[in-house]
Structure 1
Amino acid sequence: MGFSGLVYGYSLDGKGGGRVLSGDDLDKGLPENQLTWLHFDYTDADTRHWITEKSQLSDVVIDALLTEESRPRTTQVNEGLLIALRGVNLSPDSNPEDMVGIRIWIDEKRIISTRRRRMLSAKDIVDAIEAGTGPTSTGDFLAMLSSTLMVRMQDTINDTEDYVDSIEEELLSSSSYDLRNKISAVRRVVISLRRYLAPQRDALLQMNNTKVTWLTEGDRQNLREVTDTLIRYIEDLDSARDRAAVAQEELSNRLAEQMNNRMYLLSIVAAVFLPLGFLTGLLGINVGGMPGAENPWAFWIVSGFMTITVAIQLWLFKRKNWF
């Protein structure tokens, strides 16, 4: 019978390799006394049926494996761990900050993981198993999965920092409004990434502090290394966020200064032409008795007077350091 929901299935030999399991193997039952990893697409009906009816898991674990939304966390249930982790979305035409989730139930002999969207970190483990360098125990699997998630994040974190660097360099030579959109975009990316990485740090710390017997000291040391890497990534994101905020503030100040300079120039021009407008308005009234109306030199006299007026105004503005 076909089983469309099984993405990967392996019976691990404890030496880094493993045997592929199919849907037919699941119908026969899981291998006895051998570490098994089953990776499902939880949106598939076969997956939901198998996990609900045949996995022999508790209702709490079943609900967690099949839930739509999950924040990173680690919960100990007897001698097993219920874990939810996130990784960057590296699928084509996708946003890396739209992080993909993996839900895991893991105990001494079983690893059951579920996902909705493709996760490359799971494929990395499959490649390692096929090469004979895969996990040798449940604790080793947990450390390897956490490590591959961090490795996959590195390029995204570095790209984000490089993008902030380019914005800062562009800000030195330009103050265009286009920079506002770029800064807003990178801040949204940082906020989205940090939204899940902060609780993932807590999940890894909790994972390391659990009392399960199958997690060896070597596994815990590897998890601590992964946690330290994640903490550094979060610090890098905090730095990028702060730098983007400073860049946005600097850009806002420059744009405001540009606007103020333009308004100041317009104010100077308006002040220069204010008395000229008064004079032309006064001399343009259509009533009798206007002096100089019959004098052929009146226009040049008025023009010369207005020129002198403008010169006096400019001298006064300059003396008062208005420009």
Structure 2
Amino acid sequence: MKAMAWRLCDGAPQTVSPEAAVEPCEGLSWVHLEGSDQSIPDWLRDTAKLPSIVIGALTATETRPRCEPMEEGAIVNLRGLAANPEEAADSLASVRMYVTRGRVVSVSRVTLSALPAVQAKMEEGKLNDPGDLVTAIAVAITKLLDPDVAALGDSLDACEIELDARDSWRFRRAVSAARRTAIDYRRFVQPQRDALERLAGLEVGWLDASDRQHIAEAGDRFARMTEELESIRERAALMHDQLTDMRAELLDTRSLLVAVVALIFLPLTFVTGLLGMNVAGIPYADEPWAFSAVVGICVLMAAGLGGYFIRAHWFRR
């Protein structure tokens, strides 16, 4: 278990031990625990003295973004980009917070990319109460996730510009990756917007008007991201269908070309096969000009058939 704690009660903020930050104060006391071992629920029960229902919510294996009034505070679960994505079980890692007046206890299984910026604000004394802290975490998550969602849209824009059926395998991989990421993100971004909207409407004393305004703004950004992710998913599905159609059209064109070549050579094969039989009575077999005449006839037949197919627009793509 990795534990960090800060207190801002009287004067400048201080980095303290988790045990010293257990008691709430008039300003802000924040304890952040990181890891997935049994020591975290033990610490929450024995040292922080949290109710079992709160401990279960903070240490649950599977969580979704939510905001629920619980005991004398509220449970707030948010999702953001992990600092080390390979350590996260899902596309977005979770941070679970139990917020009461004067105290925030947060738990995450892996390090979130947004937390270092929030910790820096705490150490600079820019966060004065639990509402400021929860707002800072929500805003930091949106600032980091927004460019990532925009990059997904840009990757589809690039695919649309360069779309080519002859290189469909590369485009299919790029489109499938963008669609898969958009689906994974949307699974958490949609409920996160709902959680922030509910948080902004909670009747609690540790949220002031400024906090509610910033939380509502973060919720609005998540709403826009949800719409963008939905658009990316639909565009990716359409591009996949378009690539399938282009690939089928390319295969049809190549199959038609093979068929035309076969039709041209079919009568030529018949003539050469007929004259190539090893039987007596082949006309002009002893004439010196016979071979040139047969070659000329074959060339004329091939040219005539090719001209017919061209006039019939069989080669038009």
Which TM-score tier does this pair reach, normalised by the shorter chain?
0.7 to 0.9
* 1:91 matched to 2:84: yes
How large is the RMSD of aligned CA atoms in angstroms? 2.7
Q: Is the 8 A contact 2:29 2:102 kept in 1?
A: yes
SS in 2 for 1:75: strand
The 1:14/1:162 distance shift into structure 2, 3 A limit, reads farther
Report deviation, 1:24: 5.1
1:320 paired residue number:
312
Aligned runs of 1:22-61 on 2, under 5 Å? 22-23=17-18, 25=20, 30=23, 35-61=28-54
1:278 paired residue number:
270
Separation in structure 2 between the aligned mates of residue 257 and residue 5 of structure 1, nearest angstrom: 58
Report deviation, 1:270: 0.6
Separation in structure 1 between the aligned mates of residue 19 and residue 76 of structure 2, nearest angstrom: 27
Structure 2: segments with no counterpart, 5+ residues: none
Deviations 1:97-147 (A, max 9, x none): 82111011111132110011112322222211221212x222222212111
Q: TM-score, normalised by structure 1?
A: 0.86
The 1:36/1:159 distance shift into structure 2, 3 A limit, reads same
Residue number among 92, 102, 109 corresponding to 2:95 in the alignment = 102
Report deviation, 1:319: 3.5
2:298 paired residue number:
306
Q: Is the 8 A contact 1:86 1:102 kept in 2?
A: yes
SS in 2 for 1:25: coil
The 1:300/1:94 distance shift into structure 2, 3 A limit, reads farther
Q: TM-score, normalised by structure 2?
A: 0.88
2:9 paired residue number:
13
Aligned runs of 1:60-71 on 2, under 5 Å? 60-71=53-64
Q: How many residues are matched?
A: 315
Q: Is the 8 A contact 2:8 2:125 kept in 1?
A: no
Deviations 1:15-70 (A, max 9, x none): 7x5222214536xx625555321100242443231113332322221111112221
Aligned runs of 1:226-265 on 2, under 5 Å? 226-265=218-257
Structure 1: segments with no counterpart, 5+ residues: none
Report deviation, 1:269: 0.5
Q: Is the 8 A contact 1:11 1:35 kept in 2?
A: yes
Residue number among 159, 181, 186 corresponding to 2:151 in the alignment = 159
The 1:223/1:291 distance shift into structure 2, 3 A limit, reads same
Separation in structure 2 between the aligned mates of residue 236 and residue 244 of structure 1, nearest angstrom: 12
